[in-house]
Chains A and B, each alone.
Chain A
Amino acid sequence: MTVKKAKSGIEFWQGNEACAEGAITAGCRFFAGYPITPSSEIAEHLALRLPQVGGIAIQMEDELASLGAVIGASWAGAKAMTATSGPGFSLMQENIGYAFMTETPCVVVDVQRVGPATGQATKCGQGDVMQARWGTHGDYAAIVLSPNSVQEMFDMTVKAFNLAEEFRTPVILLADEIIAHMREKIVLPPLDKVKIVNRRKPEPDEKAFFGLEEVPPIPSFGEGFNITVTGSTHDEYGIRSTANPVVHRKLVERLVGKILKNTDEIVDHESYNIDKCKVGIISYGCTSRTVYETTELAEKEGIDAGFIRLKTVWPFPEKIVKKMTKSAEVIFVPEMNLRQIFYEVQRVVGDKVPIVAVNKIGGGEMTAPEELLAEIEKELR
């Protein structure tokens, strides 16, 4: 089959479009989704573009089926993705747990809007941060990336696929309405300059695809391996074990461990002046764009400010947050929710430095730079 290549060069794109093209560049050849604002443009763009590169894009009857089809496609050997927003993300939690338990590489994009429930469908929010970490039942460790630009909607979609393939786990791209719907200049690297990771395949005589190694090799259906995939507790060979405590411990401790033990390799952040700052700001996603300007304004006022932007929210980048406490005398955590990452910062920082939550929800309104600056000045007074 001839393949119309993924794009490269300079473009002026919407975030959702960049995400869809990032998926194609990463090698995604299967998309299944269900329409939901503000993520629908990803499905629409892939419906147009995936067939051009020989891929499949389908609309399923709901989000349960969408992620189900993605899981099936992944086991059939395709890199696969779905995209949704809060209400759909809630429906996907069961299959996210299933993909985690069965070590199925796949990417789930959650373009956050205002919740809970239907909330405000067209307005931005950051209320799914904890759901992305703890949404599925049982013990779990998540890889969750947080883009803050159209460029990163592209780059981080590629990265999400790479991490999913490397660690054999579902990876969540936790975008938000602002980043997904705004348009910006984007530089698409030449295809041969993009790092692409592909899942490790087994040797022909291998039989253990669920646990002799931290990240076991993964065959595809139809290759003669007689794979037994199950969401029930299973041994290294995929054979169900519904009551044995040792089998369960071994499996789930490895699944959680393969992510948490590799936190340093997985996490990424952007930081500014964290070695010297007296005022630290920790943010992620759309809110971090406010922080750039706030920092400039603060410096003009003679405040020694610095920031950390979490490009990976889960696993939580503890080391860099701890580093900030060496100089910062107060840390601000602005979020478009009623405190979510705030508690995680508090867990890491403890009593060492006071932490101030700055929160705003509803209507897609974010804390403006002036407002955040006012909060900082109030605290310093």
Chain B
Amino acid sequence: MSEAGIKKFMRDVPLPFCPGCGDLTVMSSFLRAVQELGYNSLRKFVFCSGIGCAAWIPSPHFIADTIHTTHGRSIPVATGIQLVRPDLKVVVFGGDGDLTGIGLSHLIHAARRNVDLTVIMVNNMIYGMTGGQVAPTTPIKMKTTTTPYGNIEQPIDTTRLVVAAGASYAARWTTAQADKLREAMKKGLRTKGFAFVEAVSHCPTAFGRRVGLKTIVNILDWFKENSISLEYAEKMTEKDLEGKIIVGEFVHRELPTFTENIYALIKEAQKSAEKG
């Protein structure tokens, strides 16, 4: 697949990302996934995003309807769009700060309701845009601009949380496994109901240089060395899994969606209203 192939999906405006940003990997993985699914344009899609670097992946770069919302509120906005226009494919892009910090409750509830959305979370384990502050995903002990003595908080396992909440599909891969990531995105896009793809992503600017991983290659190597497949992880102890990134497909199941349920309810209400 050539870069030219995905260029047709993109507006001719300069990209805002730092050199070597993982968002570029996620962006091209997504557009290649769309291309491979046979879409020639994004006219059937609506892209929602909140605040943060990852929110700028679709907005305004994709030639599609895009809505760049308030911080953390992309999922509620996406829910409103999806319910009114169930024929459109509504995709949310967000960072870990946007989706697991300020917007966490919406992520859980959308998974619980099984809203027909594809949510792509770019997890760089840090607040990148604002200058490298600690995030709910930051590894323990890591020094950030707001944890100068090291992070004392346990990071959140978002993918498992979404599975527990009731999502139809959930997977996690790192940007070092771009092919797997792309396949997961394709699967997520084809899934009926709430699909969640976590892309653990390299941020050389705000993350890498603070943990001594100075180049993109260093970070990707670190991802590769620390990635453990879901199957393998099940045989490991909690202690052995400390600091590891568990990757794979966590769930893929058929469940009734929020949209299906609402439109069935409307039909029922109209029927009984006509009867008086």
Residues of A in contact with B (beta carbons under 8 Å apart):
1-4, 29-30, 32, 51-52, 54-56, 58, 60-62, 64-66, 68-78, 80, 94-95, 98, 102, 221-222, 224-232, 238-240
Interface string of B61-79 (1 = CB under 8 A from A): 0011111111011011111
Contact B68 A222 (CB under 8 A): no
Contact A54 B79 (CB under 8 A): no
Which listed residue, B67, B265, B268, touches A72 by the CB 8 Å rule? B67
- Contact A71 B106, CB 8 Å, known A51-B265, A52-B269, A238-B60: no
In the complex, chain B residues whose CB is within 8 Å of the CB of A54: 266, 270
Contact B273 A70 (CB under 8 A): no
In whole angstroms, what is the CA distance A232 to B79 when docked?
Answer: 21
User: How close is B45's CB to chain A, nearest CB, in angstroms?
Assistant: 9
In whole angstroms, what is the CA distance A4 to B276 when docked?
Answer: 10
Contact A52 B59 (CB under 8 A): no
The interface centre, meaning the residue of B44, B63, B273, B274 with most chain A CB atoms within 10 A of its CB, is: B273
In whole angstroms, what is the CA distance A32 to B79 when docked?
Answer: 10
Contact A69 B274 (CB under 8 A): no
Residues of B in contact with A (beta carbons under 8 Å apart):
13, 43-44, 46, 48, 59-60, 63-70, 72-73, 75-85, 87-88, 105-106, 109, 262, 265-266, 268-270, 273-274
In the complex, chain A residues whose CB is within 8 Å of the CB of B64: 226
Which listed residue, A2, A56, A62, A229, touches B105 by the CB 8 Å rule? A62
Which listed residue, B46, B68, B266, B270, touches A221 by the CB 8 Å rule? B46
Contact B269 A51 (CB under 8 A): yes
User: How close is A76's CB to chain B, nearest CB, in angstroms?
Assistant: 4
Contact B87 A222 (CB under 8 A): yes
Contact A65 B65 (CB under 8 A): no
Contact A51 B73 (CB under 8 A): no
In whole angstroms, what is the CA distance A238 to B77 when docked?
Answer: 18
In the complex, chain A residues whose CB is within 8 Å of the CB of B48: 72
Contact A76 B68 (CB under 8 A): no
Which listed residue, A30, A56, A68, touches B77 by the CB 8 Å rule? A68
Contact A69 B69 (CB under 8 A): no
Contact B84 A65 (CB under 8 A): no
Which listed residue, B79, B88, B265, touches A69 by the CB 8 Å rule? B79
Contact A222 B65 (CB under 8 A): yes
In the complex, chain B residues whose CB is within 8 Å of the CB of A65: 73, 75-76, 79, 105-106, 109
In whole angstroms, what is the CA distance A32 to B46 when docked?
Answer: 20
In whole angstroms, what is the CA distance A55 to B60 when docked?
Answer: 31
Which listed residue, A51, A56, A230, A231, touches B84 by the CB 8 Å rule? A56
Contact A56 B266 (CB under 8 A): yes
In whole angstroms, what is the CA distance A312 to B70 when docked?
Answer: 28
Q: Can you list 29 residue pairs at the A/B interface with Cβ under 8 Å? A: A30-B84, A32-B80, A52-B270, A54-B270, A61-B105, A65-B73, A66-B76, A68-B75, A68-B79, A68-B80, A71-B69, A72-B79, A72-B80, A74-B80, A75-B81, A76-B84, A76-B85, A80-B80, A98-B69, A98-B70, A102-B67, A221-B46, A222-B65, A222-B85, A222-B88, A226-B43, A228-B66, A239-B60, A240-B60
Contact A4 B273 (CB under 8 A): yes
Which listed residue, B46, B83, B106, B109, touches A73 by the CB 8 Å rule? B83
Contact A230 B68 (CB under 8 A): yes
Contact B80 A229 (CB under 8 A): no
In the complex, chain A residues whose CB is within 8 Å of the CB of B262: 56, 58
Contact A230 B106 (CB under 8 A): no
In the complex, chain B residues whose CB is within 8 Å of the CB of A222: 44, 46, 65, 85, 87-88
Which listed residue, B46, B70, B82, touches A68 by the CB 8 Å rule? B70
In the complex, chain B residues whose CB is within 8 Å of the CB of A80: 80
In the complex, chain A residues whose CB is within 8 Å of the CB of B70: 68, 94-95, 98, 231
In the complex, what residue of chain A is closest to B78 when comparing beta carbons? A72
Closest CB pairs A-B (n = 3): A72-B80, A68-B76, A51-B269
Which listed residue, A68, A74, A225, touches B73 by the CB 8 Å rule? A68
Contact A76 B81 (CB under 8 A): yes
In whole angstroms, what is the CA distance A224 to B13 when docked?
Answer: 19
In the complex, what residue of chain B is closest to A69 when comparing beta carbons? B80
In whole angstroms, what is the CA distance A242 to B43 when docked?
Answer: 27
User: How close is B93's CB to chain A, nearest CB, in angstroms?
Assistant: 14
In the complex, chain B residues whose CB is within 8 Å of the CB of A239: 13, 60
Contact A95 B81 (CB under 8 A): no
Contact B59 A228 (CB under 8 A): yes
In the complex, chain B residues whose CB is within 8 Å of the CB of A70: 80
The interface centre, meaning the residue of B48, B70, B105, B262 with most chain A CB atoms within 10 A of its CB, is: B70
The interface centre, meaning the residue of A55, A73, A77 with most chain B CB atoms within 10 A of its CB, is: A73
Contact B66 A227 (CB under 8 A): yes
- Contact A228 B85, CB 8 Å, known A56-B262, A65-B73, A69-B80: no
In the complex, chain B residues whose CB is within 8 Å of the CB of A61: 105-106, 109
The interface centre, meaning the residue of A32, A52, A56, A69 with most chain B CB atoms within 10 A of its CB, is: A69
User: How close is B141's CB to chain A, nearest CB, in angstroms?
Assistant: 32
Which listed residue, A4, A73, A221, A240, touches B65 by the CB 8 Å rule? A221
User: How close is B39's CB to chain A, nearest CB, in angstroms?
Assistant: 14
In whole angstroms, what is the CA distance A245 to B67 when docked?
Answer: 23
In whole angstroms, what is the CA distance A3 to B83 when docked?
Answer: 18
In whole angstroms, what is the CA distance A169 to B105 when docked?
Answer: 27
Contact B60 A228 (CB under 8 A): yes
In whole angstroms, what is the CA distance A265 to B268 when docked?
Answer: 42
In whole angstroms, what is the CA distance A284 to B266 when docked?
Answer: 38
User: How close is B85's CB to chain A, nearest CB, in angstroms?
Assistant: 5
In the complex, chain A residues whose CB is within 8 Å of the CB of B43: 224, 226
Contact B63 A226 (CB under 8 A): yes
